[in-house]
Structure 1
Amino acid sequence: MTEPVAPAAADAPVEAVAHVEAKAVALLLLMAALSVAFLLYVMYARGVFEITQRLVLISDDSEGVIPGMDMTFAGFPIGRVQRVELAPDGKARILVDVPRDDAKWLKTSSVFTLERSMVGETRIKAFTGMLEDAPLPPDAVRTVLRGDTSAEIPRVVASARALLENLDTMTRSDSAINNSLANLEAATGRFAGKYGLLGGALGSDAEAQKLIVTLDRVNGLLAKADQRVFGKKGLMDDTQAAVIQMNAVLKDASSTLKKLDAVLAEAQQVGANAKVATKDLGALRAEVDASLRKVTRMIDEINRKWPFARETELKLP
């Protein structure tokens, strides 16, 4: 008879890990320490522990401005918006914390802008033109300048509409520009005529021809007048001859008067010869009268020939 087989012995129990609770607590503490270290690092990276100074920006509208956004200078973030609040006067107050190390870029003459583009986020920028100015004090209040691109769209559309209306007015068939172009075309057509610029200036070739005929007549008259006055045996020649004759007569009269002066002087010195001097004076008087008559005739001749007659009075001595 076969003997029964004894059942297999049960496996031995697994030995328990020593200090399980302690190791679990240590692991939890390590995870908590890592979490705290990570949180502290993030806070440090965000500048929570930096020494900052407050800057208050005043704006009419704070749309697009959210806490945590950066304020940039030359493209580098130098400040961070902490909060946005509404002032009693209805304006928005944007509170910005600026690290002390970066506050050196902000001066009393700095300008702050709030730019909001059609695509993208709102940006706060700081501009400093004079780095030698005094530094911006803590808790300074500055008005921010807005540069809203979308706000310019209605003005641009209105300007474009006005431009299109003006262009339509200018290109109509009855517009002033078209009328001016038509007049210019007519004027250039007249310039291309027989008399060129003269015909265009006077309005037609007929008027230009009349002017040319008139000028020819005037030139003919001037030529005749010139020949009559300055030509051979003209008025100027007659006048010149008369002047020469007059000069001769005046010389005779001058010589006669000199003789008269000599005779008068002799008559005053020699009283005994008064009768002889009287006869000489009569002869000289006759010569003076003859010379004066010659002068009178020459003056009358000049007045007759010269176109500008004038009265000449000759008094006897």
Structure 2
Amino acid sequence: MKMHYSHSLSSRRIAQIVGIFVVVPLAVLAVVGIFMAKAQHLFERKYHVKTSLSKSYGLEPGSPVLFSGIPIGRVELVDLNDRGTVDVLLQLRSRYQELVREDSEARIAKSGVVVGQTLVDITMGSATKPALRDGAMIRAVEPKDIGELVDEIKPVLDSVKQTLLRVEDITKDMQAAVQAGGRVVGQVEEATRELPTLIASVRSTISSVEHTAASLPNLTGSITKSLALVDGIARDVKTTTSRLPAVIDSAEQTVRNVRELTQSVKGVTNELQPILETTQATMEDISTIVRGAKNTFPISTFVKNAGSAFADRSTPGLTSLRGDHVNR
């Protein structure tokens, strides 16, 4: 049976191999430890600052300490004191000591928005303030608990609720507007269907306007003639109007003459009445005398003879006072 080659090795060779398997892992572990120590800044100088909290808020030893988002140390100790508050000891690297001032603040925060690792975030203080010494106290700003956050968020939630109600109302209005828009679209479609008829009407109107425009020169000439005629009439009226005062004066004179003539006629009529009455009485007296003379001899005989002489005449004429006819 063939033996393993290790049985043929000397004890010294075996010791060397075992030493290699022991030294190499130890060397690797040493290198890893050096890199880890360097990563943890174990070889840098450090100093400590203290703060006090009403409760731990999840802080524990080893929690990171940040400055403007850069790790500058860690929480070394979280412990409860006699007063019931929590003392926190922060271990910071000395190279950042000049950045942490007396008015700097240690804020307790989360690595996430709500959840995540609890950490300490140190704010930059005023450049005029001195840096914190080793073992000094830094003012802590505690985070708000859930109840306080809810109290602060409640008005926002109410505002969001009101906004949602308004959005619902706006949505209803938009639905009504969409329905109205649908009706408008229907009306537009109907108007579009009626558009050819409207275009034909417009074309007819345009043709009528063109025809009117073509006849416009003749119409303009007619208007010009009419204006000339009106101008002549206006001149005649003006001339007649200029003569009107003389005509009015003549008419007034004629009216006055007619009035005077009327007064004269009235006077003559008044004077003529007694004359007519006297003439009538004279005629009655003459008639009485003639009748008496006809009955008196020899006039009565003469009247009889004269009557027989004219009895056969057929020529009409006037009857005299004796009763015979008188030819004209």
Which TM bucket (shorter chain)?
A: 0.3 to 0.5
TM-score after normalising by structure 2: 0.43
Specify which structure has the higher proportion of helix: 2
Bigger-Rg structure (1/2):
2
